[in-house]
Structure 1
């Protein structure tokens, strides 16, 4: 019965956030204006800047920011107990993530679709732009390199997921062409979902595997190469051709998955076997504060969301008022996934007794995607009667498709960053889309195989930095939005308070990790962690200087009001 209480608390809280808080922020703080000409219309090019139906854009934004992170983070953070995880997901979604994602989307749209790094120049200053973009590029590098490994691992361990994962791409290409020819969105959506789930069923009987060794590389490494070749091609295609329809189908697929999982909770009414607060943590376990707030990022608040919002979503925004639907509702979608993940790995469907649960969660880092798939499949079996094997395939495909759409968008975003560097530093070669894409993919593969050898798992080496780096980026994004609001003479406390909280937690987590890396003599991570911490301090000082000038009335020294 505790599981139903968790679900109801989350649903009520997020509904209040959507109908009350997001409406207040949209109308009173950001003052979204239907008459404002968005970059999608002003700079329309049929490739990257394309006015898009808000439902389709929501699908793109939601699945791009989701990835596997709102599953991985909560599934790990339950280690400290389900109460802290649930509270951070609910309040983080309502007060932090929704405002952060809306704000990044709005700020970018007001600056011709520039990324948060590039637009920080006009909001804060030139020095902050260069520093900001270093952190953004590092986060994208981590996400792309690691998600390539995550998908490759899933293809090797779950060969049943390979066929439906690639079928989804073919279906998306067809739907993109039909949408371009003005076919109805709802019928296409229904057909797409039916075909996708038919392929999931077929995948159970058509496992696809690569040879254990091919071209001198193991099967996992070959999958990584194939995935990056695909991502490079996908990132160069017009957004309407693949990115939008694929992300929209995946968004609808997630809604089906959420319906199955939430429905199973109400039908099965499982008890919670995980402790509310875990008092049996290992001796060397880090403290809940501040590590909880960087372990659960996506699903509460995440800097990566700001990269997507200002990188691809802002370029497809049809009306400025769509910011609320795309940004805040996208955050609620992530929060809903994070919440049901906590239930799936905390209840009797996952572990029949507290002792069995503690056996699995013997240390921080246990659980993760495997716990979600096994616990979620058992929950669906109890609630709906579906076979666990089929349910496992559904959830495995969901994870793979999320990670894949994030990787698609991530490579495209890396291309944008490199092209923006070309504009900033007057390097015409970097402005070329093919050249920029090649460099983006080359950086990811260099990390994957240069640091990880023939396994291609090099991204995992710097992945431990992701939590604190990602949350520092979220605080920097909230800082840019706050300075922009101050320059416009609007209240900034609704973004400043979340910014301060996230920054303090992420900064201290970064310091804890810095000591941990140093004691382990992992000097690469020591160096990168130190760079991120120093960069964040320098950007904060730059912003404080701008705010001080504004308060003293020296508006001319920081640029005109927006």
Structure 2
């Protein structure tokens, strides 16, 4: 089968979702109001609350939510066949992710840009808020600790990516000044910035950079992780316009161009999908596709982390409420396009079915490696790019996605500590520097305390990321649904996705309980129980609130 069919059907479906379905949701369900005064204007401080051009904000939101997850998840999930992964990514983007992301922005903007965790306290109740914020903290801890490892390994495995990955930071700092001080127009800055980034990608393989195998007793991976967290700590304290916005914006453009190149190579080279439509020859010990497919592919279909970004940083920068459709829903479409590219690279980037089966010999195989190698083969065959340059381009794409997510993730973790300080009256915790210090410390304790000298401790709890993340998405949809019911608006457009998502996630958590018990992994077993109990408690609290408001709405209309 030609990969062109997947590309045209997938991108066409997501484009139709944005043009028609998102407009319906924005106008008739969320009722976005252009005249509503957003928190970016109400609380403008030049640091966190900054009214932002919607294209720049889209770049921030898109690259922050994308990360490496929409590459890793789909490139692993194709082990069940390309059709299940394809259908979940396309329909998940249209009916789940876009509605969730736009809704999270709307809910936060309507409540002084509070995070979805703090918002739960006002919409549902204090007990639900306390439990919900623990789940949020766990998700951020997993994302930040693991992405540090992912980026470190990418830089070690491809030293040619070091110059473009770190060079992008310098480019972003310059662009931030040019845009903020209105020295040049956005169009000129965008073009020049993208050209410089691609020049760095071309130069990168010629000047590979590697760290010593041992530095003060630390491995190269551990050294990279410390450098990444030091950078992320500084970035999380700087005003958003100085680094976060321009870095995400220019990376978003560069990454979007990368997707265009990859899809263009598919259209020109017309590679064949060698993986099976539905794999009936699964390797031994491959888990059941249902419910695991829906938590293996999180980002790219729907992800709770998106709600954290939407209500954590994006809502504080939204210039007009109506921009939530472009930033939120179209940001989800951008991520869906990346997930679709990962599926194509991991199924059509191999010479034969035997080559594909050799890589997918066990569940968990594929991931970023399959995306980079498969995508590089497609770029080389379709556009004639040098294989090494193509591999560097895709490695930089993955690293930049992960890096921008880590930037935003650490800032969000800082917000969580600050919100805890506000909730419990701890004044010093409400300040940026102590909160950032605690955020970094918690990540490093997990990384080095659980993982030893190489700092890979985040990987220890990563098996729970998919279920915890999807649980967070379901609970975010619950909060949005309660708000819709309170406002006497139709709630089925969020209620149906959240019921499906919570059902799949709770089944996956129960399935993982058995897996951890059989393996004797008592740490993950205990953590799984904590997440499961938290899920049940928040679901019960939200359901009770939902039913109460529903009865009140019915009583007032009768």
TM score, norm. by length of structure 1: 0.98
Q: How does 1:282-293 map to 2 (within 5 A)?
A: 282-293=283-294
- State the alpha-carbon separation in 2 of the partners of residues 377 and 548 from structure 1: 52
SS in 2 for 1:204: helix
> For each residue in 1:205-234, what CA deviation from the matched residue of structure 2 results, as whole angstroms up to 9, or x when unmatched?
111111110011001001101100000000
In 2, Cα distance between the equivalents of 1:357 and 1:549? 53
Q: Name 2:455's counterpart in structure 1.
A: 456
* Residue 442 (str. 1) matches residue 432 (str. 2): no
2: distance between equivalents of 1:148 and 1:92?
28
Distance in 2 between residues matched to 1:159 and 1:133, nearest whole Å: 38
How far apart are the structure 2 equivalents of 1:545 and 1:266? 51
Are 1:93 and 2:69 counterparts? no
**Root mean square deviation, CA, Å:** 1.2
Once the two structures are superposed, the pairs formed by residues 418-497 of structure 1 within 5 Å of their partners are 418-497=417-496
Give the equivalent residue in structure 2 for 1:140. Answer: 140
Please give the residue correspondences for 1:312-331 in structure 2 after superposition, counting only pairs within 5 Å: 312-331=313-332
Alpha-carbon distance in 1 for matches of 2:405, 2:421: 24
Kept in 1, the 8 Å contact 2:485–2:553? The answer is no
Residue 343 of structure 1 corresponds to: 344
In the alignment, what sits opposite 2:551?
552
Cross-structure match for 1:175: 175
Q: Distance in 1 between matches of 2:486 and 2:440?
A: 38
Task: Give the 3-state SS of the residue equivalent to 1:346 in structure 2.
Answer: helix
1:49 aligns to 2:69 (yes or no): no
The equivalences for 1:10-409 within 5 A come to: 10-182=10-182, 183-347=184-348, 350-409=349-408
The answer (yes or no) to whether the contact 2:284–2:362 under 8 Å persists in 1 is no
> SS of 1:281's equivalent?
coil
- Residue ranges of structure 2 left out of the alignment (5+ in a row): none
For residue 209 of structure 2, give the secondary structure of its aligned residue in structure 1.
coil
Looking at structure 2, the residues matched to 208 and 333 of structure 1 have their Cα atoms a distance apart, in angstroms, of 31
SS of 1:452's partner is: helix
1:25-63, Cα deviation, whole Å (9 max, x unpaired) = 000000000110000000100000000000000000000
Counterpart-to-counterpart distance in 1, 2:384 and 2:432: 49
Q: 1:487 to 1:167 in 2, by over 3 A?
A: same
**How far apart are residue 523 of structure 1 and its match?**
1.2
Deviation at 1:155, TM superposition (A): 1.1
Q: SS of the counterpart of 2:308? A: helix
Name the CA distance, whole Å, in 2 between partners of 1:3 and 1:551.
Answer: 47
Cα deviations across residues 437-465 of structure 1 (Å, max 9, x unaligned)? 00000000000000001010000000000
8 Å CA contact retained: 1:411, 1:441: yes
Give per-residue Cα distances to partners, 1:121-175, cap 9 Å, x unaligned: 1111111111110000000000000000001111111111111111100000001
CA distance in 1, matches of 2:513, 2:61: 33
| Distance in 1 (alpha carbons) for counterparts of 2:465 and 2:152 | 20
Q: Is the 8 A contact 1:549 1:555 kept in 2?
A: no
Could you tell me how far apart the structure 1 residues matched to 2:391 and 2:548 are? 57
- Which whole-Å CA distance do the structure 2 matches of 1:432 and 1:171 have between them? 29
Q: Displacement of 1:357 after TM fit?
A: 1.2
In 2, Cα distance between the equivalents of 1:130 and 1:555?
30
- C-alpha distance in structure 2 between counterparts of 1:21 and 1:554, whole Å: 26
The within-5 A match list for 1:522-537 is 522-537=521-536
1:21 Cα deviation (Å)? 0.3
| Counterpart-to-counterpart distance in 2, 1:489 and 1:57 | 30
In 2, distance between residues paired with 1:287 and 1:343? 23
- In 1, the alpha carbon distance for the partners of 2:538 and 2:301 equals 23
1: CA distance, partners of 2:338 / 2:86:
12
Q: Contact 2:81/2:278 (CA < 8 Å) preserved in 1?
A: yes
Distance 1:236 1:63 in 2: 19
Gaps of 5+ in 1: none
Separation of aligned partners in 2, 1:417 and 1:464: 23
Give the deviation of 1:549 after TM superposition.
2.0
Query: Number of aligned pairs?
Result: 555
Check whether the contact 1:308–1:409 (CA below 8 A) recurs between aligned residues: yes
Q: Distance in 1 between matches of 2:407 and 2:116?
A: 19
Deviation at 1:555, TM superposition (A): 11
Asked if the contact 2:486–2:553 (Cα under 8 Å) also holds between the matched residues in 1, the reply is no
How far apart, CA to CA, are the structure 1 residues paired with 2:424 and 2:194? Answer: 45
Does the 8 A contact of 2:488 with 2:553 survive in 1?
A: no
2:180 & 2:102 partners in 1: Cα distance? 28
After superposition, where does 1:499-514 map in structure 2 within 5 Å?
499-514=498-513
The residue matched to 1:495 in structure 2 has which SS?
Answer: helix
> For each residue in 1:485-514, what CA deviation from the matched residue of structure 2 results, as whole angstroms up to 9, or x when unmatched?
000000000000000001111111111111
Q: Counterpart of 1:114 in 2: which secondary structure?
A: coil
Cα displacement (A) at 1:547: 2.2
Residues in 2 aligned to 1:240 and 1:107: alpha-carbon distance in whole angstroms = 23
Distance 1:524 1:155 in 2: 30
Change (3 A) 1:555 1:272: closer
Q: State the TM-score, normalizing by the size of structure 2.
A: 0.98
